[in-house]
Structure 1
Amino acid sequence: MDRIYLNQMEFYGYHGVFAEENKLGQKFIIDVILEIDLQAAGETDNLMKTINYAEVYSICQTIVENKTFKLIEAVAETIAEELLANYMNVQACTIKVTKPNPPIPGHYHSVAVEITRIRK
């Protein structure tokens, strides 16, 4: 299956289990992989045969910036559900949500979850 990648989209959101995370917010990084047959798009050079990347960005932005979740797992799940509901030609999607500065002790670059959902 062919793939479309949207890499390291950055948004500011208010997700976390601690009250300060919901009040102060922080940066989140979203990666999306869409599995779709792109042959017709490649052969015709027609946007209608593929996925509009700007629309996918907007869906992710709306979810991350306008909703609040305790878990980044819920952020990922909501994005996957919305993309599969909006794009019937997407056979599967992989969503990675990275939280660069979680309020937990220790030295590390970030924490992240990655999920893959397949159309049923």
Structure 2
Amino acid sequence: MGQNFTGDRIILKDLGFYGYHGVFAEEAKLGQRFFVDLELGADLSATATTDRLSTGISYADIYDVVKTAFDSRRMKLIEAVAQNIVDEIFDKFQRVEWVIIRIRKPEAPIAMVQGEAGVELHRQRKAQ
């Protein structure tokens, strides 16, 4: 069954966090900055026509879930951090059908003068 990442979406970009994720001991001790971009697929037609937040999903609530998931446990790999965030989003927001998440690590411990390392996961809610 193919993935379908079309339709309405909520977008949050450049959410900044300070965390201790990483393979190396220095990363666990000193920490570093991470940036998270999200796209969440959900039907926004009721929110668009009623102009009522109660029919939608609050950006502030999404941020709180992402922050809690990001901080909840130290991971070695940002792929695992991303999956942990996706799992929490699906758990807390039943109307979200799919998530695209990108985590960027601008201070990755590799010899680069400029740029950043990152991952992007595409996940669709599993049928119940």
Same fold, TM-score > 0.5, yes or no:
yes
Counterpart position of 2:67: 61
Counterpart position of 2:24: 18
- Say which is worse superposed, 29-38 or 57-66, in terms of deviation: 57-66
- RMSD of equivalent CA atoms: 1.0
Unaligned runs of 5+ in 1: none
Residues 1-120 of structure 1 correspond to what in structure 2 (within 5 A)? 1-120=7-126
Aligned length: 120
Over 3 Å counting, the alpha-carbon distance change for 1:85 and 1:66 in structure 2 is closer
> C-alpha deviations, 1:16-43, integer Å up to 9, x for none?
0001101100000001100011000011
SS in structure 1 at match of 2:119: strand
Identity %: 44
Q: Is the 8 A contact 2:97 2:124 kept in 1?
A: yes
SS in structure 2 at match of 1:105: coil
Unaligned runs of 5+ in 2: 1-6
Structure 2 distance, partners of 1:74, 1:50, is 28
Q: Is the 8 A contact 1:95 1:115 kept in 2?
A: yes
TM-score by length of 2: 0.89
The residue type equivalent to 1:46 in the other structure is R
Q: Is the 8 A contact 2:69 2:88 kept in 1?
A: no
SS in structure 2 at match of 1:33: strand
State the shift of 1:67 in Å.
2.0
State the shift of 1:48 in Å.
1.9
SS in structure 2 at match of 1:30: strand
